[in-house]
Amino acid sequence: MVPAAVVVVLVLWASAFIAIRAAAHSFTPGPLALLRLVVGAVLLGAITRRSRAPMPRGRELWLVVLYGLAWFGGYNLALNAAERRLDPGTTAMLVNVAPILIAVVAGWLLKEGFPRPLLVGLAIAFAGVVVISVGEGAHGGDASGVGLALAAAVLYTIGVLSQKFVLRTVPAGHATWLGCTIAALAMMPYAPQAVHELGHARTGDLLLAVYLGAFPMALGFLLWAFALSSTPAGSLGSTTLAVPAIAVLMSWILLDQLPPPSAGVGGAICVIGVVAATGRLRRRSADRVRQPE
């Protein structure tokens, strides 16, 4: 079940990069994030309405608020803004330095240490980001888009690690609905602008906003929480390495857009760095699975 769930998540999250780029014709970053979150919260509420899981308290509640604001809210807002400046493929490559950030934080917070492969991988991935940034400048791109995509990666990292702690005691569906609802409430200041943009939005863009809330948000995050509840965060995070390749392929087919050559080279360097840094995590996870009870 977990491998199938992960495959679905990867495809849905890759498609989100394409949908966000296309919907930008009608929606600015804040209103698009709000619409996506409201749709997701309503659907997740309907799915989990019969759940009798108690409301998290104390430390767990604060962690729910943290990943709700950082991942469901801040990540989506930064991602929407980045895609107004970068193509979907380049954005996906930059956002997917998150697995190495997860490994770094886990080394400090979870006392997993900082082995040499992690440090080497970090240096390689940083070099890839530099290549992408320089290439964007040379092609007339907006360096702020690179910064926004990297900010989204940081928020992604915060969300994964804080949610991992919560999932020890809170069911995946309930944890996902709470995070999405908290983020939707935090985005309410964008409501007047969202109403205005809805009145002028193209039908296709409106359907894309609904799609983003129903599938990459509600279904994608629900399946992710299900997988995260039974899989090490570092190991699961490394599976998202496939997202940029899927996003680039979708962008080429659906939008006729490809990253500039320098972004492709930089993205490949980032992937090599992340693989080098997180390979040890994946091997350690596999060793634990093989150990007898």
Q: Is 89 exposed, middle or buried (0-12, 13-18, 19+ CB in 10 A)?
A: buried
| DSSP assignments along 33-100, one per residue | HHHHHHHHHHHHHHHHTT--PPPP-HHHHHHHHHHIIIIIIIIHHHHHHHTTTS-HHHHHHHHTTHHH
What total number of domains does the chain contain? 1
* CA 130 distance to own-chain centroid: 21
pLDDT at 136: 57
Residues 6+ away with beta carbon under 8 Å from 232: 281, 285
Residues 6+ away with beta carbon under 8 Å from 145: 81, 82, 83, 84, 85, 86, 91, 136
> What pLDDT digit, counting tens, does each position of 27-48 carry?
999 999 999 999 999 999 998 8
pLDDT at 228: 86
Q: For residues 215 and 18, what is the distance between their CA atoms, to the nearest angstrom?
A: 13
Residue with the larger pLDDT of the pair 179 and 144? 179
Look at 6-10, 27-31, 133-137 and tell me which has the smallest mean pLDDT: 133-137
Share of the chain above pLDDT 70, in %: 84
Range among 105-109, 142-146, 206-210 rated most confident:
206-210
> What pLDDT digit, counting tens, does each position of 149-174 carry?
999 999 999 998 899 889 989 999 99
> What pLDDT digit, counting tens, does each position of 101-126 carry?
877 776 677 665 666 776 777 778 77
Mean pLDDT of 184-192: 98
Residue with the larger pLDDT of the pair 293 and 81? 81
**Would the pLDDT of 288 be above 60?**
no
> What pLDDT digit, counting tens, does each position of 225-282 carry?
998 888 776 667 667 777 877 888 888 888 888 777 777 787 778 778 767 765 654 4
Instruction: Using the structure block, give the residue that is written with the tokens 């979870």.
Output: 110
**Would the pLDDT of 4 be above 70?**
yes
Residue 153 domain boundaries: 2-290
> Which residue, among 291, 201, 243, has the nearest Cα to 99 in the 3D structure?
243
pLDDT at 133: 67
pLDDT at 138: 47
The gap between the terminal CA atoms of the chain, to the nearest Å, is 21
